Amino acid sequence: MRDEVRVRVTRDLGLLDVTMAAVGAMVGAGIFLLSGATFTVAGGLTLLSVVLAGLIVLLSGLGYAELASGRPGAAGGAYAWVRSALPAPSGFLSGWASWGGHVAATALSALGLGAFLVEFLARSDTPFEPLGGRERLAAVAALGFAVAFHYGRVHVSRRALGRLTLGKVVVLLAFAGVGIVYALLPGPPRGLGAGDAQPGLLGLLVGAGVFFLAFEGFEVIAQLADQTKKPERTVARGILLAVILSLGVYALLVTAVLGNLPSSSVAGWPACEACSGTPEDFALVGFANLPVPGMRGAFLLVGIAVMWGALGANLTAATKTSFEMARDGFLPGRLASVGNRDVPIFALLATAALSASLFAFGLETIAILGSLAFLLLFSFVQASVVTLRRRERRTAPGFRVPLVPAVPIVAVALNIVVGAVLWNYPGAADSRLPAGALATYLGLLWVALGLIFHWFAGGRQAIRVGALAQPEIADVLTAAEDAVELERYRVFLPLREFEDADLVEFAARVARARGAELSLLNVVEIPRNLPPKAIRFRYVDDRIKGLQKVSRLASRFGVDTRPVVKIGHKVYEIILDTLREEAVNLLVTGWRGTRVEGERRMLGSNLDYLIENAPCDIAIFKTEGLRTPLQRLVVLTSPIWPLSGIDELALILAEEDHPAIEVLGLAGDPAEAERLKQEAESFLAEGHARGHSIEHRILYSRQWESVALQESAEASVLLVRASSPGGLRKFALGPVEDRIVKLARCPVLLLRKGAS
């Protein structure tokens, strides 16, 4: 027996899953909204600015790759690393910058989505018009819908999201391919002129800084590190692949846009028509200029879909950051409050309100504000790499940034230079303050407000005593996976509660009879809009104590137990993955409770899903009303309910109390009765050899359900081996078995043979 309860976050994400999760967050509003803003300052060097921004982000990605791979408790992202590596108030500032950056990215996505929706529904006659009230109202509506979706917990799985992202990338590459091909063909004057002015180094750097926000999103892989298979390799590869793939998509799309813009709109840079308009029209005008029917509408639809996905991803990231900071005492505790729907509603509303407040500004201002926030955040990460490399003697495998501290120092220097030159971004002709200066002032105001709040909310003490301690839940997480003897027979018992001692005893008796190990599992289910480590330690501690109690009960029967608490998003997926990973032979479970899982309300309970999809045998034991010692077991057989399999479970149940065993055969004619008698002969002989009192009766009836309920009314347990209902639900329970279990006045034990 093992008394120690393992606690771990489920690792079910592979390289493709995490890469697509990051690409889905990265390839969003940036390409549709920021290419025009970049062209305004970079002109003919726009493509080079995009590449430079990608290279700067790649350096930051190296730091994320080291900190998120191969270190115990590494998941959580920049805020968690900086808090543990650097002195206060660095931890607070990194979280504050992360929240502000994601708020800006949320606002940018919503405002761009509003502009594209208005353009799709009511086409404007003049391109490059400034954003008006209609676009901002549409942005408010889009943000409101996104908040409602989050509150309603409308989410798709990571794997499904990965497939959608892959499809999105393919569509964008198709647009880029068509645009590049048409740019090479003869036609009306398109693209940049050879005699246009060149921006120089300053324009190149400012353009890179503006487009920098388009690469935000790769850090989602760091947040998923504790859910990733083999994170020491997968996390680093995923980050690098996501940045490189996004850079490739951006470069191709920008090339296609620049090659198809009417020459009249870009001639005379920087005093061109496209330079003075709003940036969201830049890419649209380029693709609308293609002589392809429906290209403009298709581009708008793709942009709407992509920006909706980016809006959801950024809103989730911002909400998670504010929630975690509130839980650690850096923000008001109200933001850490989770309502009845398991959603941090106040953190969600605060994030949405801050994002909506940015709708008063232009897209360029919002983009620069977001870039400044992430440049600050990534600088903190690089400093953490140097500090933790000196402090820790890490022996675990994982990615390592080369040439430390040289590479982090270069990365920080580039971040500082790019952030400083963003002040030079110009404003519209009628604006009182250039967009770069306005964004810088807003950024400084955000930092000042954060520091003031932090100081009066306890930051003075934090500065004196150093960084805050890690959340308690991190102390009980098990990093290493247990070795499983796959050749050994395995009995698996997932538990939602810990009060059904009869179910535990039955599973232990079966494990003892078959020389098996008994695996005990409790799943802590959390919504997808919360990080796994956001749960309270006390909540997990209650699960640990419950499994310890169950493990001690099972140990009385002399069986080896392996109790595990898993933290994840979907109970039934976690159980099914465990069944496959551990090659489980028999799944033991109780009957349906009164609670139906919300995410499967339309399809049935978790039990129904497990019955249909489990690759092993399932013993379903409704223990309500079970009384010991057992007096009478009724084993039900019929032409569709065989005796094989359920007979062995009957002997296991009868092992201690030696109750009377009655094999009740339901037949429609003498031929069926004779087959049932022959089937029962070996079981009767085995039972008599073990000293049990066994009776075999045949009843002629086709009303199996009513006869079963009547004959089992006084039984201690009714046992049935379920048959397949056929059709699409081949491995589900049939309606007759389902009603028998529900209506029987005694405990019922069902056996269903495995799906594979």
What CATH number should be reported for the domain holding residue 635?
3.40.50.620
Q: For the CA atoms of the chain, what is the radius of gyration?
A: 32
- Asked whether residue 125 falls in the same domain as residue 68, the answer is yes
- Asked whether residue 549 falls in the same domain as residue 597, the answer is yes
- Asked whether residue 397 falls in the same domain as residue 535, the answer is no
Which residues form the domain of 647? 625-756
End-to-end CA distance of the chain: 30
Q: Is residue 477 situated within a structural domain?
A: no
How do beta strands 560-568 and 517-525 pair? parallel
3-state secondary structure of 750: strand
User: How many C-beta neighbours within 10 Å does residue 716 have?
Assistant: 22
pLDDT on residue 526: 78
CA 400 vs CA 385, 390, 500: distances in Å:
10, 13, 49
Q: Please state the domain count of the chain.
A: 3
Q: Which residues pair with 752 in a beta bridge?
A: 618
- Asked whether residue 249 falls in the same domain as residue 375, the answer is yes
Q: Cβ neighbours of residue 5 under 8 Å, at least 6 residues apart?
A: 544, 547, 548, 551, 563, 564, 565
- Asked whether residue 602 falls in the same domain as residue 651, the answer is no
pLDDT on residue 736: 84
Q: Is residue 542 situated within a structural domain?
A: yes
- Asked whether residue 562 falls in the same domain as residue 704, the answer is no
- Asked whether residue 273 falls in the same domain as residue 197, the answer is yes
- For the chain, the 3-state helix, strand and coil shares in percent, each to the nearest 5, are 60, 10, 30
Cβ atoms of residues 71 and 394 within 8 Å: yes
pLDDT on residue 729: 47
How many Å separate Cα 268 from the centre of its chain? 48
Specify the pTM. Answer: 0.79
- Asked whether residue 634 falls in the same domain as residue 594, the answer is no
DSSP 8-state secondary structure symbol assigned to residue 76: T
**Which residue numbers in the chain have pLDDT < 70?**
1-3, 70-77, 125-130, 155-159, 193-197, 276-280, 340, 393-397, 428-430, 458-487, 528-534, 592-606, 724-733, 755-756
Show contacts of 291-298: CB within 8 Å, 24+ apart. 291/182, 291/187, 292/178, 292/182, 295/178, 297/120
- Which tokens in the block code for residue 480? 């290493």
> What is the C-alpha to C-alpha distance for residues 588 and 493, in angstroms, rounded to an integer?
5
pLDDT on residue 125: 63
pLDDT on residue 480: 55
> What is the C-alpha to C-alpha distance for residues 624 and 603, in angstroms, rounded to an integer?
25
What CATH code is carried by the domain that includes residue 108? Answer: 1.20.1740.10
> What is the C-alpha to C-alpha distance for residues 744 and 712, in angstroms, rounded to an integer?
7
Give the DSSP per-residue string, 127-171.
TTPPP-HHHHHHHHHHHHHHHHHHHTT----HHHHHHHHHHHHHH
Nearest to 470 by CA among 600, 328, 355: 328
- Asked whether residue 617 falls in the same domain as residue 630, the answer is no
> What is the C-alpha to C-alpha distance for residues 359 and 104, in angstroms, rounded to an integer?
10
The arrangement of strands across the sheet holding 586-590 comes to 6-9, 560-568, 517-525, 490-494, 586-590, 617-622, 748-752, 717-721, 632-637, 660-667, 694-700
- Asked whether residue 124 falls in the same domain as residue 271, the answer is yes
Give the DSSP per-residue string, 524-561.
EE--TTS-GGGS-HHHHHHHHHHHHHHHHHHHTTT-EE
Q: ∠30-35-40 over CA atoms, to 5°? A: 135
Query: Which value, to the nearest 10 degrees, does the dihedral of the CA atoms of residues 189, 195, 199, 200 take?
Result: 140
pLDDT on residue 598: 38
End of a domain among 567, 601, 623? Answer: 623
Cβ atoms of residues 145 and 304 within 8 Å: no
- Asked whether residue 38 falls in the same domain as residue 177, the answer is yes
- Asked whether residue 299 falls in the same domain as residue 327, the answer is yes
3-state secondary structure of 708: helix
3-state secondary structure of 491: strand
